[in-house]
Amino acid sequence: MLLWYGGVRQEVIMAQRRQHGGAFKARVAVEALAGHKTVNEIASAYEIHPSQVAKWKAEALARLPEVLSDGRKVKADSSPETEARLYEEIGRLRMEVEYLKKKLGLCRSSSVEG
């Protein structure tokens, strides 16, 4: 980026924002949760701002119950609208299967067997 300052052209280098990956954030948050070091010590060790450490720690605490919840429980969406839509789709697919069987001659009708 070029700037004019006092009639002199000067080039200014802008610092880019650092983007931290999930593994880095997790490492910092776990260290903050452990409580062996202060937030300021962790921030200086990882060269980040102390407020960032506090933010990642709070986010980790907020999401831990969700992450550690029992994954075996299935959250079923059993609303009447969803159920009706699924039954409609089942009926449509059954009709398609019967149509294709008849077209291919795989299905014998009850009148032929008699």
Per-residue pLDDT tens, the chain, 114 aa: give them.
666 666 667 666 777 888 889 999 999 999 999 989 999 999 999 999 999 999 999 999 999 888 888 776 666 667 888 889 999 999 999 999 999 888 888 766 555 444
Residue-level pLDDT at 66: 84
Residue-level pLDDT at 5: 65
Token pair, residue 8, equals: 């002199």
Residue-level pLDDT at 114: 40
Residue-level pLDDT at 81: 86
* Global pTM value: 0.51
From the list 1, 29, 34, the residue with the least C-alpha distance to 15 is 1
Token pair, residue 114, equals: 């008699």
Separation CA 90–CA 84 (nearest Å): 10
